[in-house]
Structures are given as C-alpha cells and as structure tokens.
Amino acid sequence: MRALVLGAQAAIERAPLRLETRPVPEPAAGEVLVRVAACGVCRTDLHVVEGDLPLVRAPLVPGHQAVGRVERAGPGAARFAPGARVGIAWLRRTCGACAFCRSGRENLCARCEFTGWHADGGFADYAVVPEAFAYRIPDALGDAEAAPLLCAGIIGYRALKRSEVAPGGRLGLWGFGSSAHVTLQVARSRGCAVYVCTREASHRELARRLGATWVGDVREPVPEKLDGGIVFAPVGDLVPVALESLGRGATLALAGIYMTPVPALDYERHLFYERSVRSVTANTRADGEELLAEAARIPVRTETTTFPLEDANRALALLKAGGFAGSGVLLTGDAG
C-alpha cells in the first residue's frame, strides 16, 4: 500500500512526508482494517509534522480524519461487517477504568492514545483502528465531505458546547478554517447569530456564504457584545481580543491542541463580570456520535478542496498559508 511517512519533523515547506510502499497492516485483536477512501488534513497534522507537538513515535503515518470501508476484522472484532463504511478519528484508545473514563470524560484520560500521533493514521491506502473507537458514517454524507467532520467537526462541536451559547444566542468565532466552518453551520441551525473574525479574504467570503451575521478582520472589534466565543486560530494574542468582545457571564472556548503564548490579561477588561475561559481537550466518542447525527440531519455541507494522496505535503503547506477555505481532503482514489 501507499503511505505518507514522517521520519523527522521539519517545516512543511521542506516536504518532510515521504511516499513509501508498505505492507498492508494486519488488524490486531479488537481492531478492524479499513481501506481508506478519504482523509482530511488538519492543523494538528501540521503541528505534528513541524514539531509544535512532540513526535512520540517515528516513523509515523499522520492523518486522523479517515473515511473508508472495513476490509476485515481482527480476532474478537464483530461490531462492523466487511464493507461497512466507517470513520477513524483522533481519539483512538483510553484506559476505560480511570475516574475520567467512568464519568463520561474519557477525553481527559491520562492514558489516551491518538490516531496519527501514537499510531499510524489515514495518510495511506489502509489503516487499522480499534473497532470501539470507529464511527459509522451516515449515508447522507459522502466520503470527502464526511472526513473533516471526524476532527474539525467534532472539536468544533465540543467547543460550541464548552462556550455554552444557547440556541438563538450570539457566538463569536476567531479564525475560520475547517473546524469553524462546520461550527458555524451547527450554530446557525440552532438559530444563533454568528460573528466571524478571520484574516483571509477567501475565508471571510465563505463565512458570509454560510450565513454569518457579521464578518470582519481577525482583530476588528465586533459590533455588539457576544454571549460566547471560540478561538480556533492557534494565536494566543487573540485571547484578550476575544474576551473584550464578550458580554457579562459569557464563556470563551479555546479549541486548539496548540496555541502560542497567551499575553497577560487585565482582570477588569477581560475577566470581570464572570467571564470565563475554557480549553478544549480532544473529544469523547459521545461528542463524535452526536456531531455526525446532527451533521446528517441539518445537513452540514463541508467546503472541501481535494488532493491526491501523494500531495499531502502540498495540502499541508496550503493549509499553513491559508491557501484554501474550508477543509482540505486527501483522496486515495476509492472515494465515493
């Protein structure tokens, strides 16, 4: 099979992912082998490739938004029949026994493992995944449009929950990439007014097309106080900017796995009147199931720019440069 392999971290402009031919992996006990059709490219992949996140194993196949069909199952795996269409997401394994796992907060498990970081991911023709952490993909969603939902969509959905903006409320988004463009659609379906701050003109145009109430530059003040907000851009300097836009009792969710340093906050300007800041750490499987069901019902339509599998370096470089709006997706040739 073909696989894009990271041997050592480097700037994406140096094309550190190498196309290799590897044997098709064998599913272990409780795992399924998936023939990948599409895999989204995510900013987390970029953080792993470039070294913002530590490399926990090498060589490594990145990618954690894969959609494909079950080829075969390992010993004891019986959840999916061969040919079933499934998704492979970021959260790959938890201990299942700690206080966090037992209380519905498995995303905080200290023994979490993640696809495309602790184990090889979906930048390949085949990937394996524990069947308990795979998702059934609704028939209403095509392979390429479903792929970005498996991280960008799920994390945006969890961030929206963490922001505690009620249906019909005012939501601010700072940064408007793959995750934010899904989150806007979910929020709009709930009657929310969505205010988008982003630096790229093409991203602002997409936000308008998807029904944003107001769109401006990333540091431009919003026209009214908001009930909550989400910072998607990995830029710590935006945290005080966003907090100044929030009204009394509002919550700001920080949706990235990585962020540059956050500057000092002024208590009265940024935090007083019970404004809150919350981080978002991965997701639970329940988040994923809820998001996929809601995305099929709305329906969410992801804006995708597709690339052949072997163009993963170029796709990630364009993601870094803001070279496309919405989501980038790698196709193996089997997408439906």
Q: What is the pLDDT along the chain (336 residues), one digit of tens a residue?
A: 999 999 999 999 999 999 999 999 999 999 999 999 999 999 999 999 999 999 999 999 999 999 999 999 999 999 999 999 999 999 999 999 999 999 999 999 999 999 999 999 999 999 999 999 999 999 999 999 999 999 999 999 999 999 999 999 999 999 999 999 999 999 999 999 999 999 999 999 999 999 999 999 998 999 999 999 999 999 999 999 999 999 999 999 999 899 999 999 999 999 999 999 999 999 999 999 999 999 999 999 999 999 999 999 999 999 999 999 999 999 998 655
Q: From CA 249, how far away is CA 256, in angstroms rounded?
A: 22
- Other C-beta atoms within 10 Å of 148: how many? 31
Question: Are both 2-150+282-331 and 153-279 of the same fold?
Answer: no
Q: Domain-by-domain residue ranges, the chain? A: 2-150+282-331, 153-279
CB 11 within 8 A of CB 50: yes
CB 24 within 8 A of CB 1: yes
* pTM listed for this prediction: 0.94
Q: Note the residue count of the chain.
A: 336
Which CATH code fits 153-279? 3.40.50.720
* Of 274, 175, 265, 273, residue with least CA distance to 229: 175
Q: Dihedral angle at the C-alpha atoms of 125, 43, 257, 253, nearest 10 degrees? A: -120
According to DSSP, residue 261 is labeled P
The tokens describing 280, both together, are 């978002």
CB 32 within 8 A of CB 131: yes
Q: Please name every residue paired with 246 in a beta bridge, in sequence order, or none if there are none.
A: 226
Domain 2-150+282-331 top-level CATH class: alpha beta
